[in-house]
Structure 1
Amino acid sequence: MRTFRARRAIAATAVALAALLGAGGWAADTQTAVTGPPPGSAAWTADTASGLRPPDPATATPAQVAAFFAGLTPAQQDALAARHPLVVGNLDGAPVRLRYRANTLALTAERDRELARATDPALTPQDHQAARTRAERYRTLLDGGRQILAFDPRGRGQVAEVYGNLAAARRSAVIVPGSDIDLLSFDRAGDPYGSPAGMARALYGATDGQSAVIAWAGYTTPVGLGPDAVTEDLARAGATRLTRLLDGLAVSTRPQAPPTVFCHSYGSVVCGLARPNPAQASGLVVLGSPGMGVDSAADLDPRVPLWATTRNGSDWIGDVPNVRLFGLGHGADPTDPGFGARPLPATGSHGHSGYFTPDTASLAAYAAIALGRG
């Protein structure tokens, strides 16, 4: 019997991989997770002009970062942000308004650098086009007073944006996206409710602005449906970064409660592996989930409520068997009643990324939960 079960599990894994291949095609390339301290950290730690030694971004906790900035005057804080924008803008625990300022400076510098690359005769036409594309992306992030909480140009680029007043809002929420999200796809005009920025805008509007919402593209996501999408390496790296974000919000903002975390697709694996506690999150909501990297809700912190959105009939993720074997797959289906999550409706939604579309039952439920009415 044991041999039979093992063979059945192996067969199920093969079926899962086949389903993934059929759903979107195999992406042969794998991604290297962006980890570690932000660019410029060495110069930051050596800067003692304020009379204090700055916390090492590689080892300091968000609470230690917050304590350091609390010992500085506003002028000293602004001076550090001007000298080290990429560090200050990505330091979880730093004052939110200072991170906005630092990231404006960092985006401006990176835009100017890419514009220079776009006319560099030593580069190829392909390099010129890539530089123009990035420069335009940076320009759009600088337009209209956008509140950029994090910006890292390394790799495919990472970014986080805040909708609403994070310092004054009584409630807050974080959107954790799935595959194919990076600096360039963070806010796709052709998919208004399928990108993290679009999801955040929709949720912010559905709460009538009563909940601040963070669109967080702060980890290296899989590209396509390939090796990275069916394994957890990128999710583990993302879980570490998500944990730091949540710890940073706990010491740099003063909401009525910790944020509700909404986890889409592969992002639900990130959330499952992060296992937030009540000081970090008021609740977890998964949608379009392939699994959370755990066997059941009992493997998560029981003090943090978990909701799972019923899949709509056109969400292809429902065709992927929920298995976890030999490092492949993401485990049990959170929408299965036996998993232990609270169910949420999805009436009116369509496709894998349509759950935040206005006038859907899912978005109405998300707004209620984000406002603490779950």
Structure 2
Amino acid sequence: MKARFRRALAAGLLTVLAVGGAGGWAAADGQRAVTGPPPGTAAWVADTTLGVRLPEPGRASAAEVAGFFDGLPPAQQRALAVRHPLVVGNLDGAPYRLRYLANSLALQEERQHELARAADPALPERDRKAAAARAARYAELGSGRQILAFDPRGRGQYAQMFGELEQAERTVVVVPGSDIDLMTGDRASAHYGTPGGAAEALRAASGERLAVVAWTGYTTPVKVGLDAAGSRLAEAGAARLSAFLDGLTPVTGPVTLVCHSYGTAVCGLADPKPEQVRGVVALGSPGMDVAGADGLRVPLWVVKRNAEDWIDKVPNVSLFGLGHGADPDQPSYGARLVSSTGSHGHSGYLVPGTASLANTTAIALGEDARVDCAADSPACRSAAATATA
């Protein structure tokens, strides 16, 4: 008994040391997850202009929200978006084009607020510079982009649609890992490791047959530390992802989730429903907080880690609240393992020209027969053979 405990303790400590050594402890550990209804909810609930009770964010289901808006003429829908842009823009189940409009208006309003802060001499210079940077980012996001969600709280969250839903054959939702927020969702550094860069790559690789949502919709860990080693933020993110899918998939049909790094734990904990999700593709996973592929109700495809991915140094354990469990990259996990030839590093799996991008695109399009399976994956070869037959 004591020996087993010592081994468990050693493994737990090894997790901490490896995670810390992989990227350095984050000074911002203890990130506060953004949860609950969007800003402006109190004014929305109190609004009686239409003479009816408005669906309460966080309580009304996406189906109830959709039914409510279906019963309103376009002019009244638009009027609600103008009066309550932050609520309508984040209201799962609201018409997606109305959400584009609402978020455009919300970005304009928040930009003006940040510009005022940037010009306020009473604020420290650091705060004024941060406000100016956010104002510039809000202007960028509001310049004709299709923004499905925008929440300025905390480090900021947003979701951007790439492509047109009416023209796309299928839809993908990209779920990111650590260090991604409103300011970094399509950053130039390691661009294809961001949700925005991944969306661009998948769209292009599919010949624009895919519509892709870059979903920066939860509070991610900052750098690598205790937040990244634990599941607290992933659990909060999983709830937000599930709610987002409740509103999206009645329009798109079942989607493919493409999940990177810590985002694979978010996707695992979301327990995606077959009627909403065709399958999950995991890239650079530290573990999914799911014991094995059979713990998911949908097919799990895992892109084999490349030799330069530092995530390989993180022990696959779950002890004392640290670690994300078994390694999805191992054949024993039961996932469909696919090749990542040509990829380099933790953020390089969806770089154009890589086998991992080609495989992820084929999976999202439902073209399993085109997938290049990893050598040690009978589950992948069986799926490809079934598709060929």
Tell me the TM-score normalised to structure 2 length: 0.92
In the TM superposition, what whole-angstrom CA distance separates every residue of 1:181-203 from its partner, at most 9, and x where no partner exists? 11111110122211110011111
Amino acid at match of 2:242: T
Q: Which amino acid aligns with 1:241?
A: R
> How far apart are the structure 1 equivalents of 2:66 and 2:24?
45
Match of 1:346 in 2: 340
Q: Counterpart amino acid of 2:304?
A: T
Aligned to 2:105: 105
Q: Which residue of 2 aligns with 1:277?
A: 273
Give the structure 1 partner of residue 131 of structure 2. 131
Give the distance between the partners of 1:4 and 1:96, measured in 2 at CA: 57
- CA shift for structure 1 position 10: 2.1
Structure 2's unaligned 5+ residue stretches are 369-389
What displacement does 1:280 show? 1.7
Q: Corresponding residue for 2:306?
A: 312
Out of 283, 292, 313, the position equivalent to 2:288 is 292
User: Is 1:54 aligned to residue 54 of structure 2?
Assistant: yes
In 1, distance between residues paired with 2:11 and 2:304?
A: 22
Post-superposition CA distance 1:112-159 (Å, at most 9, x none): 11111111122111111011110111111122x211110000000001
User: Which residue is equivalent to 2:34?
Assistant: 34
Residue 169 in 1 paired to residue 163 in 2?
no
Q: Write out aligned runs for 1:214-293 (5 A).
A: 214-251=213-250, 253=251, 255=252, 257-293=253-289
Q: Distance in 2 between matches of 1:101 and 1:166?
A: 16
1:191 to 1:246, Cα distance in 2 relative to 1, 3 A = same
Is the partner of 1:149 in helix, strand or coil?
Answer: strand
For 1:163 and 1:4, the matched residues in 2 are separated by: 54
Task: Report the residue type matching 1:116 in the other structure.
Answer: A
Partner of 1:76: 76
Structure 1 letter corresponding to 2:289: G
Specify the alignment match of 1:94 in structure 2.
Answer: 94
Q: Note the aligned Cα RMSD (angstroms).
A: 1.1
Give the structure 1 partner of residue 202 of structure 2: 203
Contact 2:16–2:226 (CA under 8 A) maintained in structure 1: no
AA in 2 matched with 1:280: Q
Given that 1:172 and 1:211 are in contact with CA atoms closer than 8 Å, whether structure 2 keeps it comes out as: yes
Shift of 1:53: 1.3
The alignment partner of 2:174 has SS state of strand
* C-alpha distance in 1 between matches for 2:155 and 2:311: 25
**1:368 is the counterpart of 2:362:** yes
Q: For 2:285, give the aligned amino acid.
A: S
Offset of residue 218 of structure 1: 0.2
Distance in structure 2 (CA, Å) of the matches to 1:183 and 1:166: 23
**Hey, what does 2:6 align to over in structure 1?**
7
Q: Give the drift of 1:45.
A: 1.4
Structure 2: how far apart are the matches of 1:194 and 1:264?
8
Counterpart CA distance in 2 for 1:78 and 1:344 is 46
Q: Which moved more, 1:286-295 or 1:51-60?
A: 51-60
Shift of 1:3: 4.0
Task: Tell whether the 8 Å contact from 1:100 to 1:147 is kept in structure 2 after alignment.
Answer: yes
Structure 1 regions of 5+ residues with no counterpart?
A: none
1:47 shift after superposition: 1.4
Partner of 2:122: 122
Separation in 1 of the partners of 2:189 and 2:290? 34
Residue 379 of structure 2 corresponds to none
Judge conservation of contact 1:28–1:227 (CA < 8 Å) in 2: no
Q: TM-score, normalised by structure 1?
A: 0.96
Secondary structure of the corresponding residue to residue 285 of structure 2: coil
Output the CA distance in 1 between the equivalents of 2:136 and 2:358: 34
Q: Could you tell me whether the CA contact under 8 Å between 1:307 and 1:342 is conserved in 2?
A: yes
Aligned to 2:146: 147
Q: 1:27: Cα distance to partner?
A: 1.3
Shift of 1:51: 3.0
Size of the aligned set, in residue pairs, is: 367
**2:15 touches 2:322 (CA, 8 Å); kept in 1?**
no
Task: Give the AA of the match of 2:220.
Answer: T
**Amino acid of the structure 2 residue aligned with 1:323:** V
Contact 1:162 1:213 (8 Å CA) reproduced:
yes
Post-superposition offset of 1:9: 2.6
SS at match of 1:284: strand
CA drift at 1:163: 0.3
Cα-to-partner distance string for 1:31-57 (whole Å, 9 max, x where unaligned): 010000000011111212223211000
